[in-house]
Amino acid sequence: MNSPAFKPLNIAVLTVSDTRSLDDDISGQTLINGLTAAGHAVYDRQIVIDNIYKIRAVVSQWIANPEVDVILTTGGTGVTGRDGTPEAVSPLLDKTLDGFGEVFRAISYQEIKTSTIQSRAIAGVANATYIFCLPGSSSACRTAWENLIKEQLDYRTKPCNLVQLMPRLLEK
């Protein structure tokens, strides 16, 4: 029996930060390194300030673009007054993947103990586009990519993965 072939996806990366640029965006680069090493393509990469409307504008454009399969955001998932990524993205989601945040925090607990309760990492799907909103630390991005997202975006992962569901996401 042959294993299914790998299916590369187009992934957009958004860094939410008031201070980072492409030159010093370690978290965004961590995600790009992971997704390209896995065989996926970087469709676009942007940085926006932590403003729910600016975040929502970029994410909305990517959701509306049929060439974007997945959106990864980093930053803005904490609890300070400037952290607004979940508030920006949640209204755009057709469905949430509640298990992502739950499992991410369980895995993260092994690394950072109770500090994981400060993370409001979320995931969902909108217009057949998967969206993962991750904390702004490169360590958290690496944890999420290596322990959760990478395998779910690999068509070969058994018993099931998110890629095999993609053709059915727009069914009514």
Question: How do residues 90-100 score in pLDDT, each as one tens digit?
Answer: 999 999 999 99
Nearest to 91 by CA among 65, 63, 50: 63
Q: Is 12 exposed, middle or buried (0-12, 13-18, 19+ CB in 10 A)?
A: buried
Mean pLDDT of 133-162: 97
Would you say 123 and 132 are in contact if contact means Cβ atoms under 8 Å apart?
Answer: yes
When comparing pLDDT for 81 and 130, which is higher?
130
Question: How do residues 106-127 score in pLDDT, each as one tens digit?
Answer: 999 999 999 889 999 999 999 9
CA–CA distance, 94 with 131 (Å, rounded to integer): 11
Mean pLDDT of 63-84: 96
Question: How do residues 12-29 score in pLDDT, each as one tens digit?
Answer: 999 999 999 999 999 999
What local confidence, expressed as pLDDT, does residue 46 receive? 98
In a domain, 98, yes or no: yes
Q: How many CA atoms lie within 13 A of 50 on its CB side?
A: 19
- List strand residue ranges (DSSP E) for 49-128, in order: 70-74, 95-96, 122-126
Question: Which residue range(s) make up the domain with 66?
Answer: 10-168
Angle, alpha carbons 91-95-45 (nearest 5°):
65
Q: How large a percentage of the chain has pLDDT more than 90?
A: 93
In a domain, 32, yes or no: yes
In a domain, 47, yes or no: yes
Question: In the sheet that 122-126 helps form, which strands lie side by side, from edge to edge?
Answer: 41-48, 10-16, 70-74, 129-134, 122-126, 95-96
When comparing pLDDT for 170 and 37, which is higher?
37
How many domains does one find in the chain? 1
The verdict on pTM exceeding 0.85 is: yes
In a domain, 4, yes or no: no
What local confidence, expressed as pLDDT, does residue 1 receive? 58
> Residue 116 is part of a domain; what is its CATH number?
3.40.980.10
3 pLDDT tier (thresholds 50, 70, 90): confident
In a domain, 2, yes or no: no
In a domain, 51, yes or no: yes
In a domain, 136, yes or no: yes
Mean pLDDT of 144-157: 97
Would you say 89 and 123 are in contact if contact means Cβ atoms under 8 Å apart?
Answer: no
In a domain, 3, yes or no: no
**Residue located via tokens 């961590």:** 30
